[in-house]
Amino acid sequence: MEYTEQVMDHFMNPRNMGDMEDASGVGTVGNAKCGDIMRIYIKVENDVITDVKFKTFGCGAAIATSSKATEIVKGMTLEQAEQVTNKMVMEALGGLPPVKVHCSVLAEEALHAAIQDYRAKLEKGEAPEAEEEEVRYV
């Protein structure tokens, strides 16, 4: 099984890896039994994903697809981010071996789960819109 250079680059140098204490939304998908868990944190300001972080338990493809997905959606509006598919992530990585396609599906699901989590919090009136962030720049 052979990974593309882009996959190996994201595996070795993951972008946006880490957690986020004041995240607007968090999505965790997959399970340890099957060997993949992805968690994506987003920070939303004025409907724009201003920051995004991920943590992944999984194989090389799982780590690379979550890294790539965060890179793609950073700076997107929520509507744009909701249009991001596993296929887009996969293509941006120059493709994945067939047995690893499910990793890209998980990345899509984790991202959408994080957005959903944010929207649910918004509805319940607990949306942590990160306005205090801007205060820092005053």
Partner 1 sequence: MKVYMDNGATTRVTEPVYAAMQPYFCEIFGNPSSVHGFGREARKAVEAARAQVAKAIGAEPREIYFTGCGTESDNWALRGAAYANAKKGRHIITTNIEHHAVLHTCRQLEKEGFEVTYLPVDSYGLVTPEQLEAAMRPDTVLVSVMYANNEVGTIEPIPELAAVAKRHGALFHTDAVQAVGHVEIDVKAQNIDMLSLSGHKFHAPKGIGALYVRHGVRLQRLMEGGAQERGQRPGTENLAGIVGLGKAIELATGDIPARAAKMAAIRDHMIERIMNEIPHVQLNGHPTRRMCGNVNVSFYFIESESVLLHLDLRGVAASSGSACTSGSLDPSHVLLAIGVSHEHANGSIRLSLSDENTMEEADYVVDCLVETVAKLRAMSPLYEDFLKGVETVGTDD
37 near partner 1, judged by CB under 8 A: yes
Q: Which of 55, 68, 74, 121 binds partner 1 (CB under 8 A)?
A: 55
106 near partner 1, judged by CB under 8 A: yes
13 near partner 1, judged by CB under 8 A: no
DSSP string covering 34-92 = TTEEEEEEEEEETTEEEEEEEEEES-HHHHHHHHHHHHHHTT-BHHHHHT--HHHHHHH
59 near partner 1, judged by CB under 8 A: yes
Least Cβ distance, residue 3 to partner 1 (angstroms):
8
Contact status, residue 107 vs residue 68, Cβ threshold 8 Å: yes
Q: Distance (Å, rounded) from C-alpha 2 to C-alpha 128?
A: 42
25 near partner 1, judged by CB under 8 A: no
* Catalytic annotation present for 34: yes
Applying CB under 8 A, which part among 52-60, 76-84, 118-126, 129-137 lies near partner 1? 52-60
Burial letters for 5-39: b for 16+ Cβ neighbours within 10 Å, e otherwise?
eebebbbeebbbeeebeebbbbbbbbeeeeebbbb
Applying CB under 8 A, which part among 43-51, 80-88, 95-103, 122-130 lies near partner 1? 95-103
Tell me the two tokens of residue 43: 């920070």
DSSP assignment, residue 9?
H
Q: Choosing from 103, 107, 110, 113, which is the catalytic residue?
A: 103
Q: What does the binding site for partner 1 look like in residue numbers (CB under 8 A)?
A: 1, 3, 8, 11-12, 14, 17-19, 28-39, 54-60, 62-63, 99-100, 102, 106, 109, 113
